[in-house]
Amino acid sequence: MQRVIIPNDTKMFAQADVDPAITYYLTGDEKCEKVDRLIREETHVGFEILPLAVPHHQAFGELHLGDGAS
């Protein structure tokens, strides 16, 4: 079954885009990610989609602080 663009997806994207404090949009919905890609083909968006399937350390990197011993 093909999913049409849900108005709520685009409403949430619009809210995220107008708030400069929002830099990431976390989602577990692959279809939502497809809608995001379609929108980005037409316009600039001020946030990045962050899929729940991507581990946080893969998306943001890791800090290797060591054990504190000198």
pTM: 0.69
Mean pLDDT of 28-42: 87
User: Which residue do the tokens 């849900």 mark?
Assistant: 6
Residue 51's nearest CA partner among 22, 69, 24 is 24
Express each pLDDT in 49-66 by its tens digit.
Answer: 999 998 888 888 888 877
Assign 34 a pLDDT band (cuts: 50, 70, 90): confident
User: For the chain, what are the domain ranges?
Assistant: 7-55
Q: What stretches of the chain adopt beta strand conformation (E)?
A: 24-27, 48-51
